[in-house]
Amino acid sequence: MDEQELVIERDGPVALLAFNRPQKRNAINDKTLAALRRFFADIPEDVRVIVLSGNGGHFSSGLDLSEQVAREPHAVMRHSRNWHAIVNLLRHSGIPVVAALSGAVMGGGLELASACHVRVAQPGVMYRMPEGQRGIFVGGGGTVHLAGIIGADKMTEMMLTGRTYSAEDGERLGLSHYLAEADGALALARQLAQQIASNSPTVNYLIVQSIARIANMSSEDGLYTESLAAALSQTGADAEEGLRAFLEKRPPNFNR
């Protein structure tokens, strides 16, 4: 694994991934995307939760535009579709991803953050979609994932004006689920990751795999899929342990 672009560490069942281009505010280049793809395509079997952050005070300022200036249309299309494939791996690997947001969370960085399942921000975060001022359109899934969070209307405004939203604004809009104390996003993200890792792996998998897909189904298809997920979750050893633990007034142990 190329640790120059993406640093990977472990904390028990939690994998810690950090963008590692602080001199460029963790702008995402092709090497970073390749490192993300390698990891999410072959996640170690004992990883229960992933934390994604950025070294040097910034999550990510977005796409590394120095690699984009001279690309032909077909190359841009392939680059965008590769990004979509990586985001799909992240969203639907079955492993929850917690984003620790700091500093710049802009453009492609915000697109990646919006694909994560839990998002923790700290004061000083700057959310921005500056593509309109760069002469380019988003290509990392933002029209689906970011617009799914804040709505098409708000995303349109962000891209047209290049407006910066604060950490407090972002919590109100749904860009983050938690607002940590100063410099506390990573610590809170790690705490939440350990908590999530103690859940039933089966149910974590079903949550990550099912809910986003159900949201794109008709109501009847969604309800049927919900019933299938419920049947899968409630007929195995994890369900038996969870229900016995509740009745016996003790914490469940899903690590048997």
Whether the CB-CB separation of 62 and 108 falls below 8 Å is answered with yes
Q: Which residues contact 82 (CB under 8 A, 6 or more apart)?
A: 33, 37
Of 9, 45, 72, 131, the catalytic one is 131
Residue 240 bears catalytic tag: no
> What is the C-alpha to C-alpha distance for residues 201 and 199, in angstroms, rounded to an integer?
6
Kindly report the number of other CB atoms within 10 A of residue 20's CB atom. Answer: 19
Give the torsion through C-alpha atoms of 144, 146, 147, 153, to 10 deg: -150
Terminal CA-CA length for the chain: 31
> What is the C-alpha to C-alpha distance for residues 178 and 122, in angstroms, rounded to an integer?
8
Of 3, 5, 45, 111, the catalytic one is 111
Q: Which parts of the chain fold into alpha helices (H)?
A: 30-41, 73-92, 108-115, 131-134, 145-150, 152-161, 167-173, 185-197, 201-215, 219-233, 237-247
Residue 111 bears catalytic tag: yes
Question: Which DSSP symbol is given to 67?
Answer: G
Q: Is 197 helix (H, G, I), strand (E, B) or coil?
A: helix
Catalytic residues: 111, 131
